[in-house]
Amino acid sequence: MKVLFGMGMGMGPIIKRDDLAHFQELVRMADGYGVHALGTFDSAFIGGDTYVRTTLMATASESALIGPRPTNPLTREPQIMASYLGSIDGLTNGRAFMDIASGDSAVYNMGFKMATRARIEEYITCVRDLMSKGEGTYQGRIQKMRWTAQMVRNRVPISICAEGPKMLHLAGRVGDGVIAGTGLLPEIIKDTTERVYAGAREEGRDTSEVEVWFTTRSSLHDDHDKAIENVMASVSSILHHSMKVSLEDKHVPDELRDQIQAYVDGYVLYEHVQSGGSNPKNMQAMGLADYAIKRFALAGNAKDWISRIEEIADAGATKLWMNLGGSNPEEAKHYMKVFGEEIMPHFQ
């Protein structure tokens, strides 16, 4: 079965000049292997600037889509985002994209609350209007751009990162796609797709207009146990983020509801995605690690990945976002090669 892959790219908190060659080599490898899209986080709290990283990615790639994954409607004005997307689209000859979410570490650690669905929709509309017409409205303010006629495209694909039923519905109504963080279990994949398509139909759209992607919290390592250890911090973050608003309609087992709610209530935002931090430790102490890994993770060696991806694809998720990681440049290059030469050929 054919599977499309999107890959998150990063180089630790910041890319230094000495890292440039290695970072761009990884981008070229992923692009050459046929990875469909390459994205990078937009959170100043976690690391350096996504605009810098995506520019480097744009100049090192030939075919993969390039963009922020995800951004949010609070830390970037629509005019700034539209200008950035137009610029990346120019650098890539029409390969820019944008993924947007309500905001997690990027907004909480600036003292903001996450964006509402209405604000996300307004933001997307304004960015699209700026790129297509040169003028849009956001939060009661007129925003203008005078160079839209010079853009390669006047609209780039915008997908909404969604973990709850209402956000999935919104993604179906207004998104070019959805990046679902709901989980990878068969019943969840089915329910997620149905909710997105219901939103599309409500808007009078053909469901084929909305691409449904599923995000994985992933770790590739030759040692299966080490891969599981490496994915714990990432899994601890999505367990919190996907459940923080409510546990309703999220397929939470009755016997785990109290533990998950307690975990969410005690989550330490400053230690978000921190290996060895209190969040993965608390997740394990509360007996939630096995469930969270089974629901959200793609972790193990190449054989484990192939088997897991086959299961996920058979359940209906044939577009997957993942990360490879690597504790040093040579390890990162090794696992990119394993992914491109041992795993991807099974799904092309």
pLDDT tops 90 at residue 21: yes
Lowest-confidence segment of 22-31, 46-55, 320-329 by average pLDDT: 320-329
Residue 63 pLDDT:
98
The pLDDT-based confidence of 180 (bands split at 50, 70, 90) is very high
Mean pLDDT value of segment 319-340: 92
Residue 275 pLDDT:
86
Q: Are strands 211-215 and 319-322 parallel, antiparallel or unpaired?
A: parallel
Q: Are 325 and 245 in contact (CB under 8 A)?
A: no
Whether the link from the prior residue into 186 is cis, omega within 30° of 0, is: no
Residue 329 pLDDT:
87
Residue 113 pLDDT:
86
Q: Rounded distance, CA 278 to CA 301, Å?
A: 26
Residue 22 pLDDT:
93
Mean pLDDT value of segment 98-119: 87
Q: Could you tell me which residue, 184 or 108, shows the higher pLDDT? A: 184
Lowest-confidence segment of 10-24, 168-182, 332-346 by average pLDDT: 10-24
pLDDT tops 80 at residue 104: no
Lowest-confidence segment of 11-25, 91-105, 109-123, 291-305 by average pLDDT: 11-25
Residue 273 pLDDT:
82
> What would the pLDDT profile of 52-87 be if each residue is shown by its tens digit?
999 999 999 999 999 999 999 999 999 999 999 999
The pLDDT-based confidence of 35 (bands split at 50, 70, 90) is very high
DSSP string, 214-275: EE-EEEE-SSHHHHHHHHHHHHHHHHHHHHSS--TTS---GGGHHHHHHHHHT--GGGTT-T
Residue 154 pLDDT:
97
Q: Are 39 and 215 in contact (CB under 8 A)?
A: no
pLDDT tops 90 at residue 107: no
| Lookup result for tokens 């799904």 | 347
Q: Are 260 and 247 in contact (CB under 8 A)?
A: yes
Q: What is the CA radius of gyration of the chain?
A: 19
Residue 16 pLDDT:
87
Segments of the chain assigned to CATH 3.20.20.30: 4-226+300-347
> What would the pLDDT profile of 114-170 be if each residue is shown by its tens digit?
889 999 999 999 999 999 999 999 999 999 999 999 999 999 999 999 999 999 999
The pLDDT-based confidence of 242 (bands split at 50, 70, 90) is very high
Report how far apart, in Å, the C-alpha atoms of 28 and of each of 41, 66, 89, 207 are.
19, 12, 18, 33
Q: Residue 230: which of 107, 331, 337, 344 has the closest Cα? A: 331
Q: Are 28 and 9 in contact (CB under 8 A)?
A: no
Residue 328 pLDDT:
85
Q: Residue 301: which of 347, 334, 348, 345 has the closest Cα? A: 334
Q: Rounded distance, CA 275 to CA 277, Å?
A: 5
Residue 114 pLDDT:
86
* The listed CATH number (3.40.50.970, 3.20.20.30, 3.40.980.10, 1.10.10.10) that belongs to domain 4-226+300-347: 3.20.20.30
Backbone angles phi, psi at 284, to 5 degrees: -70, -45
Mean pLDDT value of segment 41-50: 87
pLDDT tops 90 at residue 10: no
pLDDT tops 90 at residue 261: yes
Mean pLDDT value of segment 308-319: 98
The pLDDT-based confidence of 281 (bands split at 50, 70, 90) is very high
